[in-house]
Structure 1
Amino acid sequence: MPVGGGGVPHGESGGATLKIFISHGGKGKDGCVDEALRLIEPRLVERGYDVFTDVEKLRAGDSWHDVLYEEMYLCDAAIVLLGPVTIAESQWVRREADVLMGRHIVRSLRTVLPVFLGTQDTQAARKRGFNALLMLQAELGNRKPLPEGGEVEQFVEWVVAEFAPVVEPVGDRPFHAWVKRVAAFLTTSRRNNFDTVTEAAAQLSCSHDEMLHVRAKVGAEMFLAHLILRAGSITREGSADSPLPRAVAALRAGLDGRQLEHLAEEILPGWVDPDDAVPFAPVSSAGETARRPVVLLHAYDEWTAGQHIRRALYNEPDSFQLGRLPDPQEMPVDERAPAEDLLDACLAALRKVFGVPPQMPLNEHTVQARERIRDYLVINAADWRLQDVATVVNTLHGWFSWLIVILLTPEGRPVEDELRSLELTRAVSVGLPVGAEQRAYSLKTRLDAAVQPAG
């Protein structure tokens, strides 16, 4: 049966980097605001955020207004820096505060951080239309006490602590998209029950600093999603006691059963070594899909092959189709050569992989490679003579050169001389640490149990 990649909702931000909008009165109006801006911007950039501060230039003429409003409507979080002169004189900051708070009220912008500097005069701020920001600051102060003494450096630390570091591999957009899908589940869980996410982090034995990042208002879910995917390496490296099932179970109060199942499916391929996954998504030096690819996977079960495919493709939704053969004992007994039976079984599986109607011929003329979907066929080489397997694989590649064939070789890789005689020298071998396949499948069964209702 062909199996496609799973899918879940994407996160809120459409770009690869979270965008932070900082509204301020402009340089020279309030010295405390200038100092705060000077300290905050590089700290957030260092943590991996795209920070927009050049609002003064965009206010200068009508031609820039659209760009300014676009920045406000596309940002993932906002900071409003207010000093006495800004409060008294700046019409633009008040308008920007209205836009940002409007998004916050309808929940299209989760985080707005108001920072009142150099003044304790809330009456002036209320008269100038900043009452909503004052109320929000009081609400935030109830959750996390505001700095005492009013020193700029203390407010800067208070603000920066609300932004978890962005743990994003540079240039690795597919991995970022995978992390965002995991983070979307965490966002939902946190919205429904705030404590679930911190409890999940505790189950992962997060350090004190990591827990501070998980409690941050911005980027916390992305930060924790990276930790969750990274936790898969524990299974690969030799531990049978992965904390992932306990972490997923901690999210029960924030996610329904179907969401928990999808989350478990999403994070499970994290146990696969990313280097081992590379041959399962082969690319030539010219950027085109490699021709006639064969992977020798030192594993017993077809499920393990599927996990390596998912890790190679970052579990991207609708990214692959995998064909599996029936058990040889279920195939009809006849007097034909085994290679003919194997070829027929492979073609029957590929008809489903390629989506070819029953009455349509299956050949190189009726089937073409697809741009965004990779096609796989897994064969357990232990069930057939290697000579017959090689004959069939080379025949299939004569018709469908892009097809990625995975040969399960539980007894180990054939010797080079044998591969050469079978014309399979192009095959890439992937081995697994001792016991990794069994530990990974045990992790799957534990995750399956963790998403079930207790009792």
Structure 2
Amino acid sequence: MKVFISHGSGMDREVEAARKCIVAHLTDRGYDVFTDVDKLRVGDEWHPVLFEEMYLCDAAIVLLGPRTIRESDWVRREAEVLMSRHIVRSLRTVLPVFIGTQDTKEARRRGFGHLLNIQAEFGRRESNPMPEGTDVTQFAEWITAEFAPIVGPVGVASEFHQWASRISGFLRSARLRDFDTVVDAATALCCTDDEILHVRARVGAELFLAHVLLREGEKVRDGEADSALPGALAALRPGLLGNQLTQLKEEIVPGWVDPADAEVFASPPADGTAKDRPLVLLSAYAEWTAEQHVRRTVYNAPGSYRLRGLPESRQIRADESTAEEALMAMCNAALKTVFGVPPNMPLAPGHVRQRQTGEYLVIDSTGRQLRDIAAVVNRIHADFPWVTVIVLIPDGAPSAETLRELGIDRAVAVTLSHDVELRAFRLDQMLGDVAGATG
């Protein structure tokens, strides 16, 4: 894993001492640690190299002393880039270390407010709280304790990076055909002057803008303002060919989903218990909304999931089967599509096995009895325990007591505001209109 250290060690003696100590400790633990003084050689073009390292790192440390805070514009810019990644959760770990200064007013004035907020959170926690004072050794030990020794491959951070990299690929294509398109897109996204500077950089610019596009989804969740994504997509239109704009639209739309909610939809382990059989109660109206959560869960990776919903419950049954039997038949038909079972082959546990691809079934509760749904879900999980069943319950999940009575108390409820669902659906339509306008 790659660790990026931002510092102004030439300005503060304590920062320089901390940098050397931290680099030694983390290197011993198996991390690839980047600092400009250690990795850049005489003659290297330092500006693009730093941007590339900031967007490739899996964790970051920002070392700040009093002179660094007052005088270093470059460290401030590095902190902005790292925090931009942190906000959209493509960079899980950003560790700020303020050494030899308690001047929070000056730090906020200079643009380090987000780092101060993280510092306060670390200071309040019970396990391994951030130390205070100027003891360099103590700070280095605290940082080291935050990094477990490397014992395996990089996890979800790399999956997010692959997602952002796919988006940056479209941006790179647009930039090569018409450089102004990416700058116009950044302007449409209301990027600051410093962010525009990052977009104009030769290395890392497209990856930076990809993170800005994904971060825009927060406005859909918060409802603070209309999304700038349609304007940004329109600005990119002259630089993209064929269906590239539609493909880019499909990549960025799932960014509106809350990452914390998306984690609930992750596929279960193969050796799970009965309690691990995945059942999600989503307070939403549309199958589209459920699929958006799944796409956010798998970082929209191609071929990473198979999902199927059911026909509307208003269809009249052609026989005398009960509501539960009719629902079970519809679920089996949908599952055959999910599993890739030929039409005339019966659906039996012996025919299918759990695959790497996540497999999802969506059941709309509208017009159906929850008791029938619960019985069918339990029958499905008895044969195919790994299938994630998503039940759309617009009015919200029933009480815990009701779920216990129905035998589905393993269900996890995800509460989604209907206003958010409506804004997200409208955004998808608007982006579709923009992408379709390319001719």
Of 188, 211, 232, the match for 1:226: 211
Residue identity in the other structure for 1:348: A
Query: Is 1:415 aligned to 2:415, yes or no?
Result: no
Of 262, 272, 277, the match for 2:247: 262
Normalization by structure 2: what TM-score?
Answer: 0.66
What are the within-5 Å matches in structure 2 for residues 361-440 of structure 1?
361-370=346-355, 372-440=356-424
**Larger CA deviation: 417-426 vs 352-361:** 352-361
Measured after TM superposition, the shift of residue 209 of structure 1 is 1.2
2:12 aligns to what?
Answer: none
The change in CA–CA distance for 1:312 and 1:173 in structure 2 (over 3 A counts) is: same
2:125 aligns to what?
Answer: none
The change in CA–CA distance for 1:454 and 1:254 in structure 2 (over 3 A counts) is: closer
Measured after TM superposition, the shift of residue 329 of structure 1 is 3.1
Measured after TM superposition, the shift of residue 453 of structure 1 is 2.9
1:169 aligns to what?
Answer: 91
Question: Higher relative CO (CA 8 A, sep ≥ 6), structure 1 or 2?
Answer: 1
Measured after TM superposition, the shift of residue 17 of structure 1 is 8.8
Separation in 2, partners of 1:431, 1:394: 22
RMSD: 3.5
Gaps of 5+ in 2: 5-15, 24-31, 51-72, 93-154
Measured after TM superposition, the shift of residue 416 of structure 1 is 1.2
1:81 aligns to what?
Answer: 43
Separation in 2, partners of 1:16, 1:254: 33
Structure 1 stretches of at least 4 aligned residues deviating more than 6 Å after TM superposition = 15-18, 51-55, 285-290
Q: 2:188 touches 2:231 (CA, 8 Å); kept in 1?
A: yes
Q: For residues 151-174 of structure 1, what are the alpha-carbon distances to aligned partners after superposition, in whole Å with 9 as ceiling and x for unaligned? A: xxxxxx99x999x94634155111
Residue identity in the other structure for 2:261: D
What are the within-5 Å matches in structure 2 for residues 324-339 of structure 1?
324-330=309-315, 332-339=317-324
Measured after TM superposition, the shift of residue 16 of structure 1 is 7.7
Q: For residues 85-105 of structure 1, what are the alpha-carbon distances to aligned partners after superposition, in whole Å with 9 as ceiling and x for unaligned? A: xxxxxxxxxxxx9xxxxxxxx
1:192 aligns to what?
Answer: 177
Q: 1:289 touches 1:402 (CA, 8 Å); kept in 2?
A: no
Aligned pair count?
323
1:203 aligns to what?
Answer: 188
Q: 2:374 touches 2:406 (CA, 8 Å); kept in 1?
A: yes
The change in CA–CA distance for 1:17 and 1:351 in structure 2 (over 3 A counts) is: farther
2:261 aligns to what?
Answer: 276
Separation in 1, partners of 2:371, 2:341: 28
Q: For residues 8-59 of structure 1, what are the alpha-carbon distances to aligned partners after superposition, in whole Å with 9 as ceiling and x for unaligned? A: xxxxxxx9899xxxxxxxxxxxxxxxxxxx9xx99xx9xx99579989xxxx
Normalization by structure 1: what TM-score?
Answer: 0.64
What are the within-5 Å matches in structure 2 for residues 20-169 of structure 1?
81=43, 165=81, 167=85, 168-169=90-91
Q: 1:232 touches 1:272 (CA, 8 Å); kept in 2?
A: yes
The change in CA–CA distance for 1:451 and 1:81 in structure 2 (over 3 A counts) is: same
Query: Is 1:443 aligned to 2:437, yes or no?
Result: no
Separation in 1, partners of 2:438, 2:354: 46
Residue identity in the other structure for 1:275: A
Identical amino acids, percent of aligned pairs: 46
What are the within-5 Å matches in structure 2 for residues 252-331 of structure 1?
252-283=237-268, 291-330=276-315
